[in-house]
Amino acid sequence: MIWNSVYTIDELNDRPANHIGALLDIKFTEITENSLTATMPVDDRTRQPAGILHGGASVVLAETVGSVASNLVVDGRKYMGVGLEVNANHLRPVKEGLVKAVCTPLHIGAKTHIWDVKLYNEKDKLTCVSRLTVAIVPKS
């Protein structure tokens, strides 16, 4: 198991309501020994004017799940993970429903974590692939 402690889905979803993840209704749905999964609705908050999922919303989902994953790995009393770099390739449009992000580690180091985040539509078709690099910094 890569996590610093055992966490429940309820604990992961018990976050402040005034951040972008809450505003976009990102919800954690599964935690395994080495992956973290979350969903986000495709609705008026997350669609671009053409009626499909906005690429920036996909990136917010990817960065949210990856950043939370990093913060579950480190000793939260001493360190925190902050996004350093994120990229995404959007493979197919999504018009409605939920997108699911599955986050797995590519590298867990002392100063950086790299996460592979794959987004899927409700038919389990890959819609976006993202990679997030997180810097691990001391808490001040």
Confirm whether 1 is domain-assigned.
Answer: no
> Are the CB atoms for 2 and 34 separated by under 8 Å?
yes
Asked if 101 contacts 39 with a C-beta cutoff of 8 angstroms, the reply is yes
Structural domain of residue 124, as residue ranges?
9-138
33 occurs within a structural domain: yes
Could you tell me if residue 107 is inside a domain?
yes
pTM for the structure as a whole: 0.96
Tens-digit pLDDT string for the chain (140 aa): 899 988 999 999 998 888 999 999 999 999 999 999 999 999 999 999 999 999 999 999 999 999 999 999 999 999 999 999 999 999 999 999 999 999 999 999 999 999 999 999 999 999 999 999 999 999 98
Q: What angle do CA 111, 36, 91 make, to 5 degrees?
A: 95
- CA count, 13 A, side-chain hemisphere, 14: 5
Quick check: is 63 catalytic? yes
Count the domains in the chain.
1
CATH number of the domain that 124 lies in? 3.10.129.10
Do residues 86 and 131 lie in contact, with contact meaning Cβ atoms separated by under 8 Å? yes
Catalytic residue among 63, 85, 96, 122: 63
- Which residue type is seen at 30? E
